[in-house]
Amino acid sequence: MNFESLGLTEPILKAIRTEGYTTPTPIQLQSIPKVLQGKDLMACAQTGTGKTAAFAVPMLQLLSKNEPSQQGRRPIRALILTPTRELALQISESFSAYGRYLPLRNMVVFGGVGQRPQTDGLKRGVDILVATPGRLLDLMQQGHVHLQNIEIFVLDEADRMLDMGFVHDVKRVIAKLPARRQSLFFSATMAPEIIKLSSTILTNPEHVAVTPQATTAETIQQSVYFVNKSDKVRLLVKILKDTNIKTALIFTRTKHGANKLVKVLANAGIDGEAIHGNKSQQARVRALQMFKNQEIRVLVATDIAARGIDIDELAHVFNYELPNIPETYVHRIGRTGRAGASGTAISFCDSEEREYLRDIQKLTGIQLPVVKGHDFEPDGSEPVPVPQPKAPRQQQNNRSAQRPKSPATPSGNGQGNKRRRKTSSWSGHRDQPGR
């Protein structure tokens, strides 16, 4: 199956080819035809599945059927609401990539930066608006954004919206949308509160689900090093001496830990930057761009800040500290091994983290291979067995986001992660509330 078989127009197919994609991912195969038919959609998909292109590509085609007015201010015809700044930026990049040969304008608005450039862009007119809830509501209250002409509404990463306390903001936005519209709802989990929220947005929706929950990508080579907490830095430096590791995304549990690790690595001659909620938006965007351009070798991130990071050909992810939420592990390592590419996920586990490792292995159903005989191996570091589940419990997790580099895989959390996530093959972005 290829993109040509999905009934897409030549300008969009040309853009897809320009991005280098030929084969749609499962979420794209299932979603694109349904969206093109004008149906509401409820999709369960996690990061890395190609979710962004699954809605961006058909939306562009539907919107392009009606040529935008060349006179006067262009009304906003499509709204994508997403929980974080980074994810909003990547979604906007996706629309720009797939719509490069179409006369449609898209722009992104989010908090943490001055609003003047955003209001100026809105005055020039925009067809597709990607927004975080806080800044969107601010601009609506000031009269810069009007939603009465919305034809298509997308709520992306709905479960993260709830996790981050945006549910009331989301409802305030929905109340301003026209009753007659097409709505697309994407979530990595389908907990009862998610289903309840979807019922207020969707009308007779089609349902799509891809990738079993709580599974890790088969293309990711996973391993764990048992190591004393005090030796983690030295072990990391030793591993990073391997010149085959061109770039590495490293996860810590805390903002302070991320800052500290960057300084220690710099002293060892390894250039890196930290991204977390205390960093300004400009600093996070700059650090991410430097990492993508390989101007720095290491990006150290907390879970919230890294939410939805989509970096082409990222081959190595390190869990410098294991997450205390097992689903977070699945999301972290899903930053690599995207779109069928291979990836490596290396985890460090100290004595206090063995319970976390046990939970991760129980969730994923696999026993992580233990690297033996390294220089910092503590005494008595035996593998942690995979616990046998008492009964098959329903997993409430999964998650996704995406951005371009192509559409076959178009396309960030400090200390406390409350809900679950997933992995797959194409990806998105995320970080702190976009207020």
Is residue 230 located within the same domain as residue 204? no
**SS3 label, residue 357:** helix
**186, 61: one domain:** yes
Q: Rounded to whole angstroms, how far apart are CA atoms 14 and 12? A: 5
Distances in Å between the alpha carbon of 29 and those of 53, 123, 331, 423, 427?
10, 36, 23, 18, 16
Whether residue 196 sits in one domain with residue 228: no
Pick from 161, 185, 209: which residue ends a domain? 209
Same domain, yes or no: 146 and 173: yes
Question: Domain range spanning residue 305?
Answer: 220-364
Q: Is residue 415 part of a domain?
A: no
Measuring CA to CA, which residue among 82, 321, 317 is closest to residue 219?
A: 317
Q: Which of 364, 382, 400 is the last residue of a domain?
A: 364
At 89 the pLDDT is 87
pTM above threshold 0.75: no
Are residues 328 and 286 part of one domain? yes
Helices (H), 37-84: 51-64
| DSSP letter string, 186-201 | EES---HHHHHHHHTT
**Both structure tokens of 217:** 């990508």
The answer to whether residues 135 and 173 touch, using CB atoms and an 8 Å cutoff, is: no
pLDDT value of position 419: 35
Nearest to 83 by CA among 146, 19, 25, 162: 162
Q: How far apart are CA 428 and CA 154, in angstroms?
A: 15
Q: What is the pLDDT along the chain (435 residues), one digit of tens a residue?
A: 889 999 999 999 999 999 888 889 899 999 999 999 999 999 988 766 788 999 999 999 999 997 655 555 789 999 999 988 878 988 999 999 999 999 999 999 998 888 999 999 999 999 999 999 999 999 999 999 999 999 999 999 898 888 778 999 999 999 999 999 999 999 887 878 889 999 999 999 999 988 544 556 677 899 999 999 999 999 999 999 999 999 999 999 888 999 999 999 999 999 999 988 777 777 888 898 899 889 999 999 987 666 556 676 788 999 999 988 787 888 788 888 665 567 899 999 999 999 999 989 988 888 999 999 999 998 766 666 666 544 433 333 333 333 444 333 333 333 333 333 333 223 333 333 333
| 126 & 202 share domain | yes
In a domain, 136, yes or no: yes
